Amino acid sequence: MYDEKNLNHEMVQFMDQYGSLLHDNIDLNDSQLLEIYNWMLKTRLFDEKMVRMQRQGRIGTYAPFSGQEASQVGSTYAMEKDDWIFSSYREIAATMVHGLPMQQSILYAKGHMYGGQSPDKLNIFPIQIIIAGQTLHAAGCALASKLKGENDVSVSYFGDGATSEGDFHEALNIASVFKVPSVFFCQNNHWAISVPLHQQTASQTIAQKAIAYGVKGVRVDGNDVLAVYHVMKEALESARNGEGPTLIEAVTYRQGPHTTADDPTKYRNNDEVNEWAKKDPIDRFRTFLNKRGLMDEDKQEKMKGIVNEEIEKAVAEAESTDRVTVDKAFDYVYDKPHKLLLEQQEESRQFLTIKEGR
């Protein structure tokens, strides 16, 4: 019988809060470290830009991810190009690192029909809105990969709130039973909209939920990008070696609201927010790079300038993209349309013709 109070899932850390290394065994060179920092900075500035654009009425409701860059960038940086990502609406940084053009994310936020389409040969499943639904998709894709003898791993990203959904438990169960090549990556940002973690689950950690399904569970400091990278690397190798799935709990914090339609001051206090601000993942990693002589104020400003230009260019391209007609929506339901769908498309055309007096 398990004793809930004695379950041991120590938090994996490579850097402390002040950017000092706790381990010497990092296997990333200087160029890779700077590339990771560039991604973290780029996605932070992108996130801030999107929030401003939403306030200006230029995009729809938006789910900010500032504070979670280390979890997303560190984990995706460890993946291979052929690995699959199954994400929710808050994993924009992860999808960008895996190859999704910035412009595509902006189109999605604008509600453009093409915003939800992944470019060809990019293994990113469309964004999932239903909480935890993507965990089942990842388990299914991983099973298919195993049956086909492929070498890719399916990674599902979700928040702590998703672990209170049935889909999460069903996905872990089926993935474990069939030992499929998958990683379940939970960003525990402590709040499921306005519900705190302790009101969602009585478990001491999310990582320990892995025990019930016979899979490996790991708890990592989600604001420590080096720790996240190494934990993810091990989980991916384990999956590729036929050892089955891993559940990773990245302990992090959502600095902003759940979405731009939300006011977090109604349900959480400033002390908590300020405490987590001291653990900002980008500040911590920049301090680490400073100590290694890889970053200084001039380099930082130069990098910010380049990134801001890239963001503005992507925004301009997205905002100049032509709107599509309702008629086009029927072209993306199935690979090949069936008779009923074609009939509906024709009815739609006739309706719009009458409505527009053509």
- Rounded mean pLDDT, 224-233: 98
- Rounded mean pLDDT, 82-108: 97
Weakest mean pLDDT among 34-38, 176-180, 297-301, 344-348? 344-348
- Strand partners of residue 124: 85
Hey, which bits of the chain come out as E strands? 11-12, 84-86, 154-159, 182-188, 191-192, 195-196, 216-221, 246-251
Same domain for 30 and 73: yes
Domain count, the chain: 2
Cβ atoms within 10 Å of 277's Cβ, excluding its own? 13
Does residue 98 have a pLDDT over 70?
Answer: yes
- Rounded mean pLDDT, 218-234: 98
Distance (Å) of CA 339 to CA 240, 346, 347 = 42, 11, 13
Same domain for 349 and 270: no
Cβ atoms within 10 Å of 333's Cβ, excluding its own? 11
Cβ atoms within 10 Å of 357's Cβ, excluding its own? 5
Q: Is 117 exposed, middle or buried (0-12, 13-18, 19+ CB in 10 A)?
A: middle
CA distance 282 to 37: 8
Same domain for 291 and 239: yes
CA distance 68 to 190: 12
Active site residue 213: no
Residue with tokens 């412009």: 103
Does residue 70 have a pLDDT over 90?
Answer: yes
Active site residue 334: no
Q: Angle at the Cα of 224 (from 195 to 83), degrees rounded to 5? A: 85
Of residues 357 and 196, more confidence is placed in: 196
Same domain for 65 and 33: yes
Same domain for 331 and 307: no
Q: How confident is the model at residue 118 (pLDDT cuts 50, 70, 90)?
A: confident
Same domain for 334 and 214: no
Which residue from 76, 4, 48, 54 is spatially nearest to 256, judged by alpha carbons?
Answer: 48
- Rounded mean pLDDT, 13-17: 94
Given 254, 284, 286, 332, the catalytic residue: 254
Which residue from 319, 253, 294 is spatially nearest to 19, judged by alpha carbons?
Answer: 294
280 touches 258 (CB < 8 A): no
Which residue from 299, 302, 301, 304 is spatially nearest to 30, judged by alpha carbons?
Answer: 299
pTM of the model: 0.94
Of residues 118 and 165, more confidence is placed in: 165
Q: What is the pLDDT of residues 140-171, one digit of tens each?
A: 999 999 999 999 999 999 999 999 999 999 99
Q: How confident is the model at residue 346 (pLDDT cuts 50, 70, 90)?
A: very high
Weakest mean pLDDT among 124-138, 167-181, 268-282, 327-341? 327-341
Does residue 315 have a pLDDT over 80?
Answer: yes
- Strand partners of residue 245: none
Does residue 358 have a pLDDT over 70?
Answer: no
Which residue from 205, 245, 190, 239 is spatially nearest to 71, judged by alpha carbons?
Answer: 190
Given 23, 267, 292, 332, the catalytic residue: 267
Q: What is the pLDDT of residues 55-69, one digit of tens each?
A: 999 999 999 999 999
Weakest mean pLDDT among 4-13, 77-86, 96-105, 258-267? 4-13
One-letter amino acid for residue 76 of the chain = T
Q: What is the pLDDT of residues 253-275, one digit of tens each?
A: 999 999 999 999 999 999 999 99
DSSP letter string, 184-251 = EEEEE-SEETTEEHHHH--SS-SGGGGGGGT-EEEEEETT-HHHHHHHHHHHHHHHHTT---EEEEEE
Domain assignment of residue 331, given as a range: 326-357
Same domain for 45 and 189: yes
Active site residue 254: yes
**Domain harbouring 165, CATH code:** 3.40.50.970
- Rounded mean pLDDT, 268-290: 96
82 touches 33 (CB < 8 A): no
- Rounded mean pLDDT, 188-207: 95
Same domain for 341 and 246: no
Same domain for 351 and 299: no
Same domain for 210 and 104: yes
Same domain for 301 and 259: yes
Same domain for 305 and 341: no
Percentage of the chain beyond pLDDT 90 is 86
Look at strands 191-192 and 182-188 and give their pairing: unpaired
Q: How confident is the model at residue 43 (pLDDT cuts 50, 70, 90)?
A: very high
Given 98, 190, 219, 258, the catalytic residue: 258
